[in-house]
Structures are given as structure tokens and as C-alpha cells.
Amino acid sequence: MATTNLSYYDKATIPNAKNFRFGIVVSEWNADITDNLYLGAKQALLENGASESNIIKWDVPGSFELIYGCKKMIETQKLNAIIAIGNVIQGETKHFDFVCDGVTQGIKDLNIKYDVPIIFCVLTDNNKQQSLDRSGGKHGNKGIESAIAAIKMAALREF
Ligand SMILES: Nc1c(NC[C@H](O)[C@H](O)[C@H](O)CO)[nH]c(=O)[nH]c1=O
Ligand SMILES: CC(=O)[C@@H](O)COP(=O)(O)O
């Protein structure tokens, strides 16, 4: 089993985020899951020095819209890193595959095109329980993991 605890990190190894400005784009699909991912990410940013006023949150309808939301945020806001938050759960059809692949490729492309790191905080799960387990459940909160990645990448971007 590849899953590790998504929330554990050594605070002593994390750069201070006090001078960084973060964007968080959150999908409204499966909002009970994405809200917990967002709260985990925001709390981790604040615990590592970020100011509440330096965390900009936008909502989009679904994970596929994370692509445009992140693009627009980069083009209109002065940010050090962005966290893209979504939760895609397998349904009856292949739509899951296309949404997951589309948002993955889209966010990858934005990371190549622009000089603002976008962290992939999209849970792509077989069922709801897997989503619950990874948004504050037995496997931790991927929002926390993503916030730490955002801080580290914002620091790397300063080089
Ligand atoms: N089924 C899920 C979706 N589907 C909606 C798409 O993301 C998109 O909003 C729609 O195709 C219109 O462009 N989105 C999720 O985030 N999670 C799902 O489980
Ligand atoms: C993963 C999704 O996009 C979701 O809408 C799948 O629903 P379904 O495949 O049952 O239509």
C-alpha cells in the first residue's frame, strides 16, 4: 500500500511563509471533501507563518475548471504559489478518466507556461471512503501536504 500519512511534516524543515502570497482555487464538486482539504491547507499555511491576508481563495464549479481558475489567478494576482483543490470520484462511466486526465494535464501545462508553481491537490478516488480517508481521515489531509509543498516551491522560486 503506497499511502502514507498526508499530514505529517517536520516544522523545523519548512521555510517561513510570512513573505509569501498564496492562491487557493477550490472545486465545488464534492464540497464536503474539498472544504476539508481547503481548511487543512489554510491552517498549515498559517501555522508556518503565512498571513490570512496573503491567502486568496477562489471557488470554481468542478475540478476541470481548476485549470482556467488557476490560469486567471496567475494572470490577475501577484502570487508565490497556488494550490488547486478538487475531488474526483469514479462514477458509472469513463467521465472520471477524462476529468482526471484533463485536470492533470492542464495544471501540468500551466506549471510549464507560467512562473508560479501550482500544487496538485486533487483527490482522484475510486469511492467516497477513499476521499474521506485523505481529507482529514485515517490517511491524514492532502490539503496539509499540499500547503507544505506550496511553501517549499514558493521558496525554491526565489532562487
Ligand atoms: N464528477 C466530478 C466532476 N465533474 C464535473 C467536471 O469537473 C466539470 O465541472 C464538468 O465536466 C463541466 O466542465 N468534477 C469534480 O470535481 N469531481 C467529480 O467527481
Ligand atoms: C467523475 C464524474 O465526472 C462524475 O460525474 C461521473 O459520473 P458518471 O460517470 O456516473 O456519469
- DSSP per-residue string spanning 82-116: EEEEEEEE--SSTHHHHHHHHHHHHHHHHHHHSSS
Residue 1 scores a pLDDT above 60 = no
pTM of the model as a whole: 0.97
User: In this predicted structure, what is the pLDDT of residue 6?
Assistant: 77
Residue 4 has a pLDDT of 73
Q: How far is the CA of 99 from the centre of ligand 1 (A)?
A: 6
Residue-range domains of the chain with CATH: 17-157 (3.40.50.960)
Q: Say how many Å lie between the CA of residue 94 and the centre of ligand 2.
A: 7
The residue contributing the CA closest to ligand 2 atom 8 is: 91
Catalytic residue of the set 18, 95, 108, 113: 95
Q: 2 falls in which pLDDT band (50, 70, 90)?
A: low
pLDDT tens digit sequence for 42-68: 999 999 999 999 999 999 999 999 999
Beta-carbon contacts of 139 under 8 Å, excluding residues fewer than 6 positions away, are: 3, 4, 5, 6, 133
Q: 17: pLDDT confidence band, cut at 50, 70 and 90?
A: very high
pLDDT of 84: 99
Q: Beta strands 135-137 and 140-141: pairing type?
A: antiparallel
- Confidence tier at 155 by pLDDT (50, 70, 90): very high
Has the ipTM of the complex gone over 0.90?
yes
Q: Would residue 95 show up in a list of annotated catalytic residues for this protein?
A: yes
What nine digits make up the cell of 26?
Answer: 477550490
Residue from 52, 73, 37 nearest 147 by CA: 37
Tell me the pLDDT of the chain averaged across its residues: 97
Residue 75's pLDDT is 98
